[in-house]
Structure 1
Amino acid sequence: MTTDTIRTYDVIVIGAGPVGENVADRTAAAGLSTVVVEGELVGGECSYWACEPSKALLRPVLLRADALRMPGLGEAVKAPLDTTAVLAHRDRMSADWKDDDQVAWLASAGIELLRGHGRLTGEREVAVATPGGDVVQLKARYAVAVCTGSRAALPDLPGIEELRPWTSREATSAHQPPPRLVIVGAGVVAVEMATAWQALGSRVTLLARGDALLPRMEPFAGELVTERLREVGVDVRFGTTVAAARRTEDGEVRVTLSDGGRLVADEILFATGRAPRSEDVGLETVGLSPGDWLSADDSLTVAKVPGDWLYSVGDVNGRALFTHQGKYQARVAGAVIAARARGEQLDTGRWSAHRGTADTEAVPAVVFTDPEIASVGLTVREAERAGRAIDVVDYDIGQVAGAVQHRPGYRGRARILVDRDRRVVVGATFAGPGVGELLHSATVAIVGEVPVDRLWHAVPAFPTISEVWLRLLETGFRS
């Protein structure tokens, strides 16, 4: 049944993940009436099937890896992890897949929630199919923000539906470790889930089509992760992928590899990329192609749709597929929507509140493996491809006193890229236990365009791993 009454709001947000929540928070705080439409759990992928549960699985694994190398602790932690306790911790961190707290937060922020599947039906119009079978018609005075995120992209493999493979959702929410797990992929999901499930009792085989793990990062990052995965028993294979796979009547997964090899597993995880959740949000009604990335400019406006009313925020626009970056975009989009609603001119300055500059210049990322990997800005490959003149400085983090204190036998590496003409940092990558906490300093240096000569005066405390900043400067720019 379709309701006759059209509900009108200043802003309609489709999708109540962290991105949609943040857009709505900004527009509601600006005094704009805002409704959020969500067909699943409020809190989205990050809260229930990605960031929160995956890090809850990995944190005990990484703590134990550190403790095993620490005098006085190694013997105490030699026993396997308590898998039941780790999974219970994961469940708590995922709020047991209930969104009551996040629904309450929306209400406290003055944001209305409408449960159901939202689709564009025309300019500033959205129809919502509710769980009860009704269709509610919505109209926006100023803006519609599509914040529907992304989903796992499965390969075009014959019989994949009958195979019932894992995606990142199943990998982060499984209730027990599969005895034998095949992971297909070389990126962040692949290496993090290999790290977690191997430690929790699975025998893991990791298949990479290319010749390296984490291929979008500096090569040494993938090399260190590969070395450690193999040390703990993961069978890492390069130059191969799945040619065919089927699930037998007794539940086994039988895999034929592209190199002719064969594997038998209990589960198979495809960690082979992401695709936009844009196939069923009514893009065709505003002249766009369903299923494509919903491209947005630096103000998060969908420029291909006239009128400056349609916004694409977070993963669905393909700009930078990270929760923190989506929330950053949400802050920008919220400010843009509020400014336009007030009739104000946008500030188009490079680092203004109305421009998502960091999406292209300073996107931070942490891979929670052993060792941890952290990066922001350009890699050497990206700089060369862009024709940027850079100086590259490397340092062995294991030589820093704070790293030795962190744990004996510390293995890690740091790299910064410095623009040769402007003398500012434009990229940084750190590999080693605990380096995720180094990342924000690098991000600040890049966004702030801090000259190398000024960085000399940012004195790191001794003995901390952050002393690597001083060593990098001494190595590359000693007077």
Structure 2
Amino acid sequence: MEEVFDAAIIGMGPGGEVAADRLLSAGKRVVVFESELIGGECAYWACIPSKTILRGPEVNIEADGTAGASVNALDWEKARDYRDYMARHLDDGAQADGYAKRGATVVRGKAAIAGPGHVAANGREYLAHHIIIATGTIPVVPDFPGVEDITAWTNREVYTLKALPRSVAIVGGSAVALEAAFFLSGFGVEVTVLNRSARLLGREEPEASALAEGYLRDRGVKVLANSSVARGRRGEDGASILALREGGEIAVDAVIFATGRTPRTEGLDVARAGATLDGHGNVRVDEHCWAAEGLWAIGDVTGIMPFTHVAKYQGRIVADCILGRERSASYDGIPRVVFASPEIAAVGLTREQAEGRGIDAVSIQVNLPEAISRPWTYEQDPRGDLGILVDRHRRVMVGAWAIAPQASEWIHQASMAIRGGIPLEVLRDMAPQFPSYSEAYLVALDRLGATEGI
């Protein structure tokens, strides 16, 4: 008799791994499918190697501003080797063995849905009561004349580099672009960022975008706004030459495209199980990440919020639903972070988004060195700004952003306030640790009360 699994998981990135772990821990029969490496993009070509390799430049920036500390020459070879260690040397053998020991069936190869409860891979079909799609996304490289003639990289090439280039052009103004720019410029690479819009991080507040650009320029990065590539060609010396639509050319060793990603749904045949794709190729899901009877989707392939922590959250949602503990996903208060120096963090709505929802919102920005002690104990020439957005009528915080050291950690205070709808009166009654960056929230709220009466 053919084995029927409780769950089949297509794609073993962070979301798929969380779902698999929860289901296996509950004693369920699980089959997992992975066409590349267990751990996915995050573990090998994105989150883990990028944050690991960014640490060296970050430490030097911190040392440069710290009394009694000194900047040291960065050792690329040692940093690269540790990066490769953290990325498991692109070897997921231990992960595959670990799942097998826990009772999972591990299938290497590209999987497709053959019908409700049916997954096909390597010429064989597998039956499961539930199918979870967690196939993620792939980077988009724009198509323009000569793109095939230049040295074109995406995040995969950037975070598996063996030798550093002398110069790069980064096309894009997203978090991926900024992190790559800080990493490479920190190791002495000449970096030019080409952004087709007027400002970086276009989905965040304009104040945050302006500050981020200023910090990039402080690191020696050249930023060209309203710039796009018309065509590319190979120079006689081997350089990659980009002709810009706005005029002029740029010659670099390599061109890094941080121009978005597209869902990995081609050939998946979700319609065979009753699911549909939206106009961008994302799997449509409801508040439970349910796509069709017995079919679920999690992570970037849903197009909801393309963050690893969201994929892991959705993995928990789906696993609990399968286990009979029905949950609905809420995306209020999900933080967004760029691991630059200083870190750039945001959560909730922007002013534009609040206005689009008809929310009567008011915002305030606080320069941290002028408001609290922590920046001065952290560095001699302190940096940092915090902005908060408050719903005037509900008297709750609906958005926040921060550009300052360790902002990725203390943005979670705003995340909790937004997700829990904590009243301003409660937030004002908190007694934050002194000295800490979290004190800035109290300053911002008090100033908002003094100026706006809320």
- Using structure 2 for the length normalisation, give the TM-score: 0.94
1:159 shift after superposition: 4.0
In the alignment, which residue of structure 2 is the partner of 1:247?
234
Q: Is residue 315 from structure 1 mapped to residue 300 from structure 2 by the alignment?
A: yes
In the alignment, which residue of structure 1 is the partner of 2:313?
328
In the alignment, which residue of structure 1 is the partner of 2:355?
384
1:319-364 Cα offsets, whole Å, 9 max, x none, are 010000110011001111222xxxx8x4xxxxxxx11112xx2221
Kept in 2, the 8 Å contact 1:32–1:338? The answer is no
Q: 1:459 aligns with which of 404, 420, 431?
A: 431
Q: 1:125 aligns with which of 115, 118, 128?
A: 118
1:180-210 Cα offsets, whole Å, 9 max, x none, are 1010000101111011001112111110101
Q: 1:471 aligns with which of 443, 447, 454?
A: 443
Q: Is residue 429 from structure 1 mapped to residue 416 from structure 2 by the alignment?
A: no
Partner SS for 1:362? coil
1:274-332 Cα offsets, whole Å, 9 max, x none, are 11011121235346459711121110011xx4xx2111110000001000011001100
Give, in whole Å, the separation in 1 of the partners of 2:227 and 2:328.
Answer: 42
In the alignment, which residue of structure 1 is the partner of 2:144?
157
CA 1:407–1:394 in structure 2 vs 1: closer, same or farther (change >3 Å)? same
In the alignment, which residue of structure 2 is the partner of 1:139?
127
CA 1:165–1:284 in structure 2 vs 1: closer, same or farther (change >3 Å)? farther
Q: Is residue 93 from structure 1 mapped to residue 86 from structure 2 by the alignment?
A: yes
Q: 2:269 aligns with which of 276, 279, 282?
A: 282
Give, in whole Å, the separation in 1 of the partners of 2:58 and 2:101.
Answer: 36
1:108 shift after superposition: 4.8
Q: Is residue 337 from structure 1 mapped to residue 322 from structure 2 by the alignment?
A: yes
Q: 1:356 aligns with which of 298, 321, 329?
A: 329
Q: Is residue 195 from structure 1 mapped to residue 195 from structure 2 by the alignment?
A: no
In the alignment, which residue of structure 2 is the partner of 1:367?
338
Q: 1:80 aligns with which of 70, 73, 87?
A: 73
When the two chains are superposed, the root-mean-square deviation of aligned CA atoms in Å is 1.8
1:227-270 Cα offsets, whole Å, 9 max, x none, are 12112211110111111012357532111111121111110001
Q: 1:182 aligns with which of 164, 169, 175?
A: 169
The one-letter amino acid of 2:33's match is: V
In the alignment, which residue of structure 2 is the partner of 1:116?
109
Percent identity (aligned): 36
Kept in 2, the 8 Å contact 1:224–1:371? The answer is no
Q: Is residue 235 from structure 1 mapped to residue 208 from structure 2 by the alignment?
A: no
The one-letter amino acid of 1:38's match is: E
Give, in whole Å, the separation in 2 of the partners of 1:446 and 1:401.
Answer: 25
1:48 shift after superposition: 0.3
Give, in whole Å, the separation in 2 of the partners of 1:7 and 1:165.
Answer: 45
In the alignment, which residue of structure 2 is the partner of 1:295?
284
Give, in whole Å, the separation in 1 of the partners of 2:108 and 2:79.
Answer: 32
Give, in whole Å, the separation in 2 of the partners of 1:122 and 1:456.
Answer: 55
Kept in 1, the 8 Å contact 2:151–2:240? The answer is no
1:413 shift after superposition: 1.1
Q: Is residue 66 from structure 1 mapped to residue 62 from structure 2 by the alignment?
A: yes
In the alignment, which residue of structure 2 is the partner of 1:214?
201
1:80 shift after superposition: 3.4
CA 1:247–1:126 in structure 2 vs 1: closer, same or farther (change >3 Å)? farther
The one-letter amino acid of 2:351's match is: V
Q: 1:11 aligns with which of 7, 10, 24?
A: 7
Kept in 2, the 8 Å contact 1:127–1:137? The answer is yes
The one-letter amino acid of 1:138's match is: Y
The one-letter amino acid of 2:382's match is: Y
Give, in whole Å, the separation in 2 of the partners of 1:248 and 1:120.
Answer: 46
Kept in 2, the 8 Å contact 1:410–1:433? The answer is no
Give, in whole Å, the separation in 1 of the partners of 2:236 and 2:267.
Answer: 34
Partner SS for 2:183? helix
Partner SS for 2:323? helix
Q: Is residue 102 from structure 1 mapped to residue 95 from structure 2 by the alignment?
A: yes
In the alignment, which residue of structure 2 is the partner of 1:418?
390
Give, in whole Å, the separation in 2 of the partners of 1:220 and 1:90.
Answer: 33
Partner SS for 2:312? helix
Kept in 1, the 8 Å contact 2:277–2:284? The answer is no
Give, in whole Å, the separation in 2 of the partners of 1:473 and 1:284.
Answer: 50
Kept in 1, the 8 Å contact 2:432–2:439? The answer is yes
